[in-house]
């Protein structure tokens, strides 16, 4: 692919060229990048605040590429790509470029579970152990924790099932250890991980408190497979994504890229032993240091920013949502009981985890914003549903910015400010352009 044209008309463009030259050097490219590609997608001068934010942000944090999409009410009013989807090939990010969305996968799994509950195929009070009958792996004298039989679907959705990675470990990132314990060829898949964890003690009594658990959402993916007798990906695509008009989302892969998917970059150029492919060889963190295929229901999807805001806006009007009715949407954002939703003195927490979403109340009861972030080496993502009807998704093909902080956390308040700074939003809808 030829170099983009040299643009040196102003100081910003010269600075941008310097940043990309620095980025090229960091990745050992044969020659410097002469200039940034211009932003892709529809330009609207009324929304220049958002353009300037994104261009400045990827400059300041040496980010290879990013995408941002914004909806206002039901309309897609902004969708643009910035920087490079592939630095080496000099391919620009498009509004429809696919990124690993990491833990933003969880809201999709939650909606699939709530959809099954609405259809009477399971109850949120069902006990997970009654639905998943895999035999526990019993080693080193360990036995199945009797508390495991009390864990419910709703507790998994709210991260109150009893697993706390800060207290023990996250099994989703131990595919070699678990495969060896199960006497199977590594890396371990979902079945082996579940059997392994079913043979180990919980970290706390189910329902007592909140502790973020990737494994809990791994179990929800297995519940979907058991109840529907379909692959998890197929069920979500057919029953959740297709009714919402989302056709490009799919599960990602550890070592290969889908058509239209970006490349991922670790700005610190870290390596680790491979857990897939040539196991044990040092590999870049985004490509083989963990097993994405086992993370399907908690972190395995790839999607565009447009896909994500199409999903987010579906819940703006509970009476017209194609996949969940008003009761299901209310449950999704409802406050959990106990310490997960309330302080020790009984007062409600300002923020809590609903079913697949972080939720924060605002100025009055019933008014709230919800969001989810995602993070893996080479990936930082954020999906926001704001109380006033705005939704946005921002995706990066690197994880951290200057100072080692997650890009999603750095840009979050900046997007709020940029959206609030827009004085006149376009009346037309960009969604039909991407149908």
Question: What does the pLDDT read at residue 23?
Answer: 52
* 344 CB-near residues (< 8 Å, 6+ apart): none
Which string of DSSP letters, residue by residue, matches 119-164?
A: TTS--TTSBHHHH--PPPP--TT----GGGGG-BHHHHHTT-SS--
Res 10: pLDDT: 33
More confident residue, 65 or 367: 65
What tokens does 397 get? 């093909």
pLDDT: is 146 or 27 the higher one? 146
* Alpha helices (H) in 2-152, listed in sequence order: 11-26, 48-60, 105-118, 128-131
- Which pTM value belongs to this model? 0.93
Q: Is the pLDDT confidence value at 49 over 70?
A: yes
Name the band, by pLDDT with cuts 50, 70 and 90, for residue 365.
Answer: confident
Give 364's Cβ-side CA count (13 Å radius): 1
In the predicted model, is pLDDT for residue 81 greater than 70?
A: yes
Helices 11-26, 48-60: inter-axial angle, 10-degree rounding = 40
**pLDDT computed for residue 6 by the predictor:** 24
Name the token pair of 297.
């229901």
Higher pLDDT, 295 or 27: 295
Residue 25 has pLDDT above 60, yes or no: no
Contact 258/252 with Cβ under 8 angstroms?
A: yes
Average pLDDT on 107-129 reads 98
Using the predicted structure, report yes or no on whether residue 319 has a pLDDT greater than 70.
Answer: yes
Q: How high is the pLDDT of residue 140?
A: 75
Span 333-340, average pLDDT:
97
Cβ–Cβ under 8 Å, residues 23 and 32: no
What mean pLDDT is reported for the chain? 92
**pLDDT tens digits along 165-205:** 999 999 999 999 999 999 999 999 999 999 999 999 999 99
**Mean pLDDT, residues 231-248:** 98
Residue 142: predicted pLDDT? 81
pLDDT tens, residue by residue, 144-157: 999 999 999 999 99
35: pLDDT confidence band, cut at 50, 70 and 90?
low
How many other CB atoms are there within 10 angstroms of residue 205's CB atom?
12
Task: Look at residue 119 and tell me whether its pLDDT is greater than 90.
Answer: yes
Cα angle, residue 383 at apex, residues 381 and 387 outer, rounded to 5°: 155
Closest CA to 200 of 183, 215, 185: 215
List the structure tokens of 359: 């939720």
The confidence score (pLDDT) of residue 139 equals 78
Tokens at residue 62, please? Answer: 């040496």
What share of the chain has pLDDT > 70, as a percent? 92
Mean pLDDT calculated for residue range 90-115: 98
Q: Which domains does the chain have, with CATH numbers?
A: 11-102+241-275+301-434 (3.40.710.10), 106-233 (3.40.710.10)
pLDDT at 171: 98
**9 band by pLDDT with thresholds 50, 70 and 90:** very low
* Joined tokens for residue 11: 């100081």
pLDDT of residue 24: 52
Buried b (16+ CB within 10 A) or exposed e, 254-268: beebeeebbbbbbbe
Least confident span in 24-28, 210-214, 339-343: 24-28
Angstrom distance (rounded) from CA 81 to CA 313: 20
Tokens 């590609």 correspond to what residue?
37
pLDDT at 60 (0 to 100): 95
Tokens of 409: 């956390």
Q: Which has the minimum average pLDDT: 14-28, 61-75, 284-298, 406-420? A: 14-28
Q: Which of 43-52, 62-71, 134-143, 320-329 has the lowest mean pLDDT?
A: 134-143
Check pLDDT > 50 for residue 423.
yes
163 with 216: CB under 8 angstroms? yes
């Amino acid at each position: 692919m030829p170099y983009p044209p040299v643009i040196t008309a102003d100081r910003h463009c010269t600075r941008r060229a310097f940043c990309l030259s620095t980025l090229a050097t960091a990745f050992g490219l044969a020659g410097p990048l002469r200039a940034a590609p211009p932003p892709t997608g529809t330009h609207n001068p009324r929304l220049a605040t958002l353009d300037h934010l994104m261009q400045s942000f990827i400059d300041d944090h040496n980010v290879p590429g990013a995408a941002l999409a914004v909806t206002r009410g039901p309309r897609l009013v902004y969708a643009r790509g910035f920087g490079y989807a592939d630095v080496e090939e000099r391919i620009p990010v498009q509004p429809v470029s696919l990124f690993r969305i990491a833990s933003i996968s969880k809201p999709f799994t939650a909606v699939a579970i709530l959809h099954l509950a609405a259809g009477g195929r399971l109850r949120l009070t069902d006990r997970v152990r009654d639905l998943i009958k895999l035999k526990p792996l019993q080693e080193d004298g360990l036995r199945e924790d009797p508390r495991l039989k009390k864990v419910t679907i709703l507790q998994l959705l709210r991260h109150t099932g009893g697993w706390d990675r800060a207290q023990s470990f996250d099994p989703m990132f131990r595919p070699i250890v678990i495969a060896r314990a199960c006497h199977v060829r590594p890396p371990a898949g979902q079945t082996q991980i579940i059997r392994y964890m079913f043979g180990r003690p919980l970290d706390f009594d189910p329902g007592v408190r909140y502790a973020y658990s990737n494994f809990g959402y791994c179990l929800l993916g297995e519940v979907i497979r058991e109840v529907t007798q379909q692959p998890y990906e197929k069920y979500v695509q057919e029953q959740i994504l297709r009714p919402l008009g989302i056709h490009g989302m799919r599960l990602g892969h550890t070592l290969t890229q889908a058509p239209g998917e970006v490349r991922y970059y670790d700005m610190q150029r870290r390596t680790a032993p491979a857990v897939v492919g040539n196991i044990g060889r040092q590999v870049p963190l985004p490509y083989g240091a963990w097993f994405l295929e086992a993370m399907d229901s908690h972190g395995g999807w790839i999607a565009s920013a447009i896909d994500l805001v199409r999903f987010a806006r579906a819940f703006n009007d509970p009476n017209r949502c194609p996949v969940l009715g008003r009761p299901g949407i209310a449950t999704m954002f409802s406050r959990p009981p106990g310490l997960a939703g309330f302080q020790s003195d009984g007062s409600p927490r300002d923020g809590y985890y609903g079913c697949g979403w972080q939720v924060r109340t605002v100025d009055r009861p019933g008014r709230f914003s919800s969001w989810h972030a995602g993070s893996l080496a080479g990936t930082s993502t954020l999906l926001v549903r704001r109380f006033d009807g705005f939704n946005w998704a921002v995706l990066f093909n690197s994880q951290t910015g200057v100072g080692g902080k997650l890009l999603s956390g750095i840009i979050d308040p900046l997007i709020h400010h940029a959206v609030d700074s827009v004085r006149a939003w376009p009346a037309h809808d960009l969604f039909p352009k991407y149908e």
